[in-house]
Amino acid sequence: MDNHSKQQIYTKLHKHLKDLPWYVEEYINYKKRKLSAASLLNYVHDYKIFFNWLVTGNYYSGELKNLPLELLESLTVQETEQFLTFLQYELHNKEVTMNRKLSGLKSLFNYLQNIAETRDLQPYLKRNVMAKLEFNDIKESMETTANKMEGKILLGDEYEQFRQFIAYDYGKLYKDNKKLVNFHLRNRERDTALISLILGSGLRLSEVVNLNVDDIDHSKFTARVIRKGNKEQYVYFSKQAMDDLTEYLQIRSKRYDIEKTNKALFVAAAMGPKGTPRRLTARAIEKLVEKYANAFGKPSVSVHKLRHSFATRYHNEINDVPKLRRQLGHSSIQTTMIYTHINNEDLKNAVDKMDMPRFDE
């Protein structure tokens, strides 16, 4: 989405927020770093429906923007269930739409109860009725799940563009911020290798975290991992990932001042004068990916979505579900079958095939 389109959405967003209570605007501002402008606008639309319902249902008689927190705290489960009934029978919302609106309300109420706090360090809400409501039980088809996934993964040219962005363009984007540029220059080989490995193998987050230097076979392009069920497996990865890993390993010891006894493949710099380099944690890797995804303009991309991106590209270019199942470490082939339902013309028409070696049975 270009900047002009984003600005138009934000303009609409702020217009709607003027009609809503102050704590809704505070929550939306809190979420701005984590959600797209379009998602925030959808949240606000759904909140207006809920607050208007409170007015028309005689739970509140004033202006929407003055609706007090105390009212939200006093709502009973039975009363809020009536709102869901209103969505279903008055607005004719489908179950999936009802779930979306309930999810937005749950997120708002969770913020008011567990995150926001007053000057005297008290939560805005001491009681959260939305936490007691359950979502509709919906069994999605593989096609539905695949369609949802398709908009949240890297497709076509984005695959290599994201890698290039981490290796080079992130620093250019923030060239006026010396602190960010220096941090990127210090870690770009590590970050590129890490992302490239996931994109070139489909490894899980926990598997990447636990990798040691000795787990990498430079001649066979494999990584030794412990999969679910404590099963050892050698997982193939792409030549590009090997190239990026090699570049990182050339600077790893000196750049991060690592002792020979530290075997962790991906490490973080020492913290403080007496600190020592340590293995990158799962949360650190999640934040790393989140940082680059937001700057890249695709905030939906996460570590797990990188795994999905690999699986989607592998299936489209190699089309062998049993081998993909083994590569991903799925216990059931039904889990792997979802990637057969993601249809993307950019991938089908890609000129350059993946450089990953085909697997032998």
Q: Indicate which residues carry an active-site annotation.
A: 204, 228, 304, 307, 330, 339
If residue 232 lies in a helix (H) or strand (E), which one and from where to where? strand 231-236
Q: What is the CA radius of gyration of the chain?
A: 24
- What is the Cα–Cα distance from 15 to 27, expressed in whole angstroms? 16
- What is the Cα–Cα distance from 285 to 279, expressed in whole angstroms? 10
- What is the Cα–Cα distance from 209 to 266, expressed in whole angstroms? 7
DSSP for 152-166 reads TS--TTHHHHHHHII
- Token pair 């990637």 in the structure block, residue: 339
- What is the Cα–Cα distance from 255 to 258, expressed in whole angstroms? 8
Q: Would you call 259 exposed, middle or buried from its count of C-beta atoms within 10 A (0-12, 13-18, 19+)? A: exposed
Helix, strand, coil % in the chain, rounded to nearest 5: 60, 5, 35
DSSP for 15-70 reads HHHTTS-HHHHHHHHHHTTTS-HHHHHHHHHHHHHHHHHHHHTTS--S-GGG--HH
Beta bridge partners of 235: 223
